[in-house]
Amino acid sequence: MLIFKTQKWLVFSLINLCIISSLGVLLRYKIGFSFPYFNQKDIHHAHSHFAFLGWITHTLYVLMVDYLQSKSASISIKKFNVIILSNLLGAYGLLLSFFFSGYSPVSIILLNGSIVLAVVFAFHFLKETKKIAEERQLLPWFKAGLWFNLISSAGTFYLAYMLISRNFNENLYLSAEYFYLHFQYNGFFIFCCMGLAFHLAQRMIPAYRYNTTIFTIFFASVVPAYFLSVLWLGLPIWLYILVFAAAFAQLWGWYLFYRNMSSQFAVKGGRYSVEKILFIFVSVAFTIKLFLQMGSTIPYVSHLAFGFRPIVIAYLHLVLLAIISVFLLSYIYAFQLVQVNKKLTIGLTVFISGIFLNELALAIQGIASFSYFPIPYVNDVLFGIALLLWMGTALMLISQYRTTYAVK
């Protein structure tokens, strides 16, 4: 019987995370110093698309298949290996095509290919879930996440249409871009991570009781929450009220999740394991995200936030790095799906320290932008932080150099 080699695939996740951080260093260097080679916008596209496909999507696919395998011995592994390998190769193709030529016929074809693979993965994953007899209450999180991944592609298709037809409208362009980002970040990524989080909770807390209300609240609020990203379009009052209700509902759902988990995560003897510290970091970051969402329903605050690039970048990095990336690394660490050793722990610590400092520097820069006050040497500082993030990812990757790809 073919066994899914989770550890082998996750080493590629660490390789890809290191590549992403290397591109981040290059982006920051070009901003702060003179470096005429390569196009900044093309590097940015390569960085962001590879982060989505090569790091997060790849890792979620691997962890979700690993979850299936842990629940059923009859899972068809071969087709998932083919899908994951194809997605990985497509991600490398996108990385190179965007880096050297930006949006081109090759990159557009590869983007469409990734969408086809998303459909194929969703079909086979949903088919295999029928073989799972236990923990079926967790499956709606995965199912919803996969559907939101497909829905997000509508934004990509519209962006591609505008680029090909050259029928450009700034408001529609931004709306389509935020549509894609919203249903990726707050749909696909968050929902699949929540499914994995509940799976982990049941492992760490055998007596854990799942609350289905949490899923209902988050699922019902995803679509109206999209309009938080386009409040600057001047929404009608009824839609604005719906958006406010969605932001409040997510806060309430997170409170229910926290209340449900906190009493059961009490640490005996007052000592905190590495895993619990990591999950506390993610929880704090997610709480900040939800409060920022709530604050953005105030028109004046929303106008300020979307008017200053450092604020937008800080928010996107908060979700992508502090919440999703740290959670995935925490989950991998907790289940020991890669080789866990001292170097990996130090690398994680350095990486998380870099995330904290990056958010702090961007927040200071953004707040100073409100009064148009320039922060001296801020680009130098952000470049140094990018190097710190790279060091963390490199150390995590180096920690696996003796990995034997044992089956997990």
Q: What angle do CA 13, 340, 390 make, to 5 degrees?
A: 50
pLDDT at 238 over 60: yes
pLDDT at 166 over 80: no
More confident site: 280 or 233: 280
The answer on pLDDT for 356 being more than 90 is yes
CA dihedral 133, 142, 144, 312 (to 10 degrees): 160
Q: Tokens standing for 123?
A: 């079909």
Rounded to an integer, the average pLDDT of 260-279 is 63
Average pLDDT over residues 339-344: 92
User: Is 247's pLDDT higher than 70?
Assistant: yes
The answer to whether 389 and 351 have CB atoms below 8 angstroms apart is yes
Q: What does the pLDDT average to over 63-74? A: 87
- The answer to whether the beta carbons of residues 359 and 318 sit under 8 Å apart is yes
Between vectors from CA 215 to CA 52 and to CA 67, what angle results, nearest 5°?
A: 55
Q: Are 183 and 149 in contact (CB under 8 A)?
A: yes
> Does the pLDDT at position 266 exceed 70?
no
- On average, the pLDDT of the chain sits at 86
What is the pLDDT, as a whole number, of residue 169?
Answer: 78
pLDDT of residue 163: 73
Least confident stretch, 98-102, 222-226, 296-300, 364-368: 296-300
Mean pLDDT, to the nearest integer, of 4-33? 92
Q: Is it the case that residue 340 has pLDDT exceeding 60? A: yes
Q: What residue segments make up the domains of the chain, in order of their start?
A: 1-134
Q: What long-range pairs does 286-292 form, CB within 8 A, spacing at least 24?
A: 286/254, 286/323, 287/254, 287/258, 288/318, 289/315, 289/318, 289/319, 289/323, 290/247, 290/250, 290/251, 290/254, 291/251, 292/318
Q: Mean pLDDT, to the nearest integer, of 88-116?
A: 91
